[in-house]
Structure 1
Amino acid sequence: MTSMKKATHLFTDDEIRTIESAIGEVEKTTSAEVVPVVASASGRYDRAEDLFGFLFSLLVLGCTWGWLHGMAPAADAWGESPAFGLPLAAVLVVLAVSFFIGMALASHFPILRLPLIARREMQEEVERRARETFQRLKVRKTEHATGILIYVSLYEHMVHVVGDDTINATLSQQDWTVLCDIIISGFKEGRPEKGMTKGILRCGELLARHFPIQPGDTNELVDTLHLID
């Protein structure tokens, strides 16, 4: 894997229809609204990009220094090695140029900066973006506050669930953990559509117990899979 996987390239049209069909089936049994989202990434992680550029510049400087020393003339007959060194200006140029090259590499190949990002930072970015998406897609505006967002972030390999007030007052964090594990399991198996479908259906089971479909219930949000690059 050399570049970041795009959410819009993850599923085939048939797989998207299967996932959206699962949303429709769930909402036949519950008055809640389920909104699944798959995003390519949740954070920019500029600090990790800068850090990779810095480490890359040190590596390039070390290699340049070693290469130039290897080309230096051998010690003279009296056993004295000739004085040798890079001018300060040359050192600064090598550091600056290689730093920006490293940043460009980390930007073009996001996997390079991944080891430099703390898991806690990624978790915070995923949760923040999930809450923003919850608001932007108007999941909070359902009549009885029973909207739920299932947010999957590909770059971070994380799933986060955001429920509206009524949902949060009834279901527990353990319920969400089980749901997230089901989705993640499908992605690990190389079957993201399977993970999404099973996760949505599991979500429906949880919701139907506490928020069964009511007479005259209307579908307040479109049954669609949102893909964000």
Structure 2
Amino acid sequence: MVTGMKKATSLLTDDEIRSIEAAIADVEKNTSAEVVPVIASASGRYDRAEDLFGLLFSLIVLGCTWGWIQGLAPVVDTWGASTASRLPMAAALAVLAVSFFMGMALTSHFPVLRLPLITKREMQEEVERRARETFQRLKIRKTEDATGVLIYVSLYEHMVHVVGDDTINAKLTREDWQTLCDTIITGFRHGKPEEGMRKGILRCGELLASHFPVAPDDANELVDTLYLID
């Protein structure tokens, strides 16, 4: 895409979505847990990075304008040659202000421009925050035995985060979730998001089945679907 940010809703074909949803159904044949995958276009707005880019852009534009217009025109008087400015202060401030907002508008349209100004920690915090919000919004916490799992993928940040309900977290560790995340990331890194998601979901099923095997009276409490959020 021109903007440098892939939209979640345009990432996969209909067949690829069905393949992922089939993997969810296969997993839940062997575990009582409920697995909900989500792919989001981005998790944060990163206004600070947008402001920083606007400031840097305005300074660059001002410097270029100064060099182009200034010209240092010679003024000769009785004491010899001196120089005079061709860019009044008011004009300089106007260039600074206009180019600042132009820089902010550019980052809104081309989000990739603010990436160098966002720290990895800031991205991680935004992804984790949005994953927790999504866990609540999709009512994953309301499963009867607290066995819901959210697999959250954020495209802009290139990050994956897993949120497990209380019962799940009592059995599985961060290392378990990291292996799942690494599986998904590998697929995306090689340009195969469908494969990464499907393998990640199946890996999640393997982790869950040993601790939460399916019961004879098990009911499917959450719909087996892939959520795409732009």
| Rounded Cα–Cα distance in structure 1 between residues aligned with 2:68 and 2:212 | 70
Alignment of 1:46-65 (within 5 A): 46-65=47-66
Cα RMSD (Å) of the superposition? 1.6
Conserved 8 A contact 2:9-2:228: yes
Q: 1:181 to 1:79 in 2, by over 3 A?
A: farther
Letter in 2 for 1:117: I
Conserved 8 A contact 2:43-2:154: yes
Q: Does 1:32 align with 2:33?
A: yes
| Rounded Cα–Cα distance in structure 1 between residues aligned with 2:41 and 2:81 | 59
Conserved 8 A contact 1:2-1:111: no
Letter in 1 for 2:81: E
Letter in 2 for 1:202: R
SS of equivalent residue, structure 2 residue 20: helix
Aligned to 2:14: 13
| Rounded Cα–Cα distance in structure 2 between residues aligned with 1:166 and 1:83 | 75
Cα distance, 1:157 vs. partner? 0.4
Aligned to 1:191: 192
TM-score (norm 1): 0.96
Aligned to 2:223: 222
Aligned to 1:124: 125
SS of equivalent residue, structure 1 residue 82: strand
Matched residues, number: 228
Aligned to 2:169: 168
Aligned to 1:82: 83
Mark the runs of 5 or more structure 2 residues left unpaired by the alignment: none
Conserved 8 A contact 2:74-2:84: no
More strand by proportion, 1 or 2? 2
SS of equivalent residue, structure 2 residue 70: helix
Runs of 4+ residues over 6 Å off in structure 1: none
Aligned to 1:101: 102
Cα distance, 1:144 vs. partner? 0.5
TM-score (norm 2): 0.95
Mark the runs of 5 or more structure 1 residues left unpaired by the alignment: none
Letter in 2 for 1:177: Q
Cα distance, 1:86 vs. partner? 1.9
Aligned to 1:146: 147
Cα distance, 1:83 vs. partner? 2.1
Percent of residue pairs identical: 77
Cα distance, 1:73 vs. partner? 4.0
Cα distance, 1:8 vs. partner? 0.3
Conserved 8 A contact 1:35-1:225: yes
Cα distance, 1:74 vs. partner? 6.1
Q: Deviations over 1:123-146 (max 9, x none)?
A: 001000000000010110111100
Conserved 8 A contact 2:35-2:151: yes
Letter in 2 for 1:40: S
Aligned to 1:41: 42
| Rounded Cα–Cα distance in structure 2 between residues aligned with 1:27 and 1:167 | 14
